[in-house]
Amino acid sequence: MNAATALPRLSEITMTRFRLPEKKSQWYELRGEVYKLRGGDVDWIHGAFFNHWPDPSRNIWPQAMVISDIFFSDQWLGKYNVESTNVILKEVEDMVFDILGAPEGGFVSLTNGGTESISLAVKTARDWARAERPNVKNPKIVAPYSAHPAFNKAAHFFGLEVVRVPLTDDWHTDVEAMDAAIDDDTIFIVGSTPCWPHGRIDPIEEIGELAEKCGLWLHVDACVGGFLLPFYEQIGEKLPTWDFRVPAVMSMSADLHKFGFTPVGMSSVTFRDEALRKHLVFEFTDWPTGPYATESLLGTRAARNAAACWATMKYLGRQGYLELAQSMRDTTDRFVNGLEEIGDLAVLSEQAGLLVITSPTLDIFAVSKALNQGGLAHGVIRQPPGLHFTITPLEDWGPLDLMLEGIAKAVDDAKSGRVVADDTAGSYM
């Protein structure tokens, strides 16, 4: 895009307040306006840049959209309210339960995203602790430094304190440090499978032993890996035990719109025991309309999101998910092999859908700057300095080869000093 056709920056847009037009617009005008706006966007969803959550391609989302549009204006309020929606939601819950290997006697609550799933787990644990550990007045969460900020956000909303503990030298959770941080007010500890910054799978079995010893709620944040790792295991990947097979795991968050490959707007939180539902539900009766009860932070939700999720999962089935898992593995292997040929780079993690690249010899932020100059979007982390990519199950290698060519040029630019790092810093947004 050249300067003449460049769209305004967000900072320029927010300087003025948009007003409702006085006259009606024509649909063709609106379509043209949207196409112009979208023309300035990074094409995240077609595998070219490995940053946002992947489009599974294979014509899956266009078909899911057709199903979704049947429910275009339908709402999903409270638990269920329309029979067709009831069936769809129940089947999605059951498929989640099956994929995650949840124990019989547990249950699933569907949400709009990982932050909501994590928040509901924290709220449920807080209310569980009020019943089971009434002497705790200032409940705490102990989490690794790499845990998602949503735990702090939930703690802020629900009146808990978060204590973050250091990581080991290889960027895993330091279980000994976690043990040392636990005190009489601790009710909740966290492990990630994997964590977002490093793509590392935390030692859930060891953390589970700690939870059992101390009588704590263990939550596994599988928002990234929950719908990938089960299928990775089935295609032969050797993974640590990370899920409900660890007896101490009380709850697990897992995003369907990540490696469940469903369109954005669907996540899940799964609980080990149906008896915990009473601590999840918010109920209110003291108003003119009568009882109000929800298992979510939101009230009204778009049924079309659930319908698109349902359609995607049923279309794929176990066979489709296994095929996508193998494609993810193949893409990862080709990416890693290409990085080895480039040299001067090291792969921090390649196991769970995220690829983090560091360098023992180069300023990786100079590599990042050169990539940006070449129009190749990517993520960046600060500790350790690294490039951050989300793997996409590609149908052809063109986008990946383009990225590897760009990385090779960026490495050369950084080595030669043609590109020097500025104040680049990692950011989740």
Domain locations in the chain? Answer: 65-313
Residue 20 has pLDDT above 90, yes or no: no
The whole-number average pLDDT for the span 68-78 is: 85
pLDDT given for residue 76 in this prediction: 83
pLDDT of 1 higher than 60: no
Q: Where are the extended beta strands (E) located within 276-332?
A: 282-284, 292-294, 300-302
The pLDDT score that the predictor gives to residue 43 is: 63
pLDDT in tens, 179-198: 999 999 999 999 999 999 99
Does residue 9 surpass a pLDDT of 70? no
**Sheet with 107-111: strands ordered across:** 107-111, 267-271, 249-255, 217-221, 186-192, 140-144, 161-165
Query: Residue range 106-116: average pLDDT?
Result: 96
Angle, helices 83-100 vs 303-342, to 10°: value is: 30
| pTM for the structure as a whole | 0.90
Query: What is the assigned CATH class of domain 65-313?
Result: alpha beta
- Find out whether 147 and 155 touch, Cβ atoms under 8 Å: no
Closest by CA to 158, choosing from 133, 129, 135, is 129
25 has which bridge partners? none
By C-alpha distance, which of 108, 207, 202, 118 is closest to 155? 118
Please state whether the peptide bond connecting residue 8 to the residue before it is cis, i.e. omega within 30 degrees of 0. no
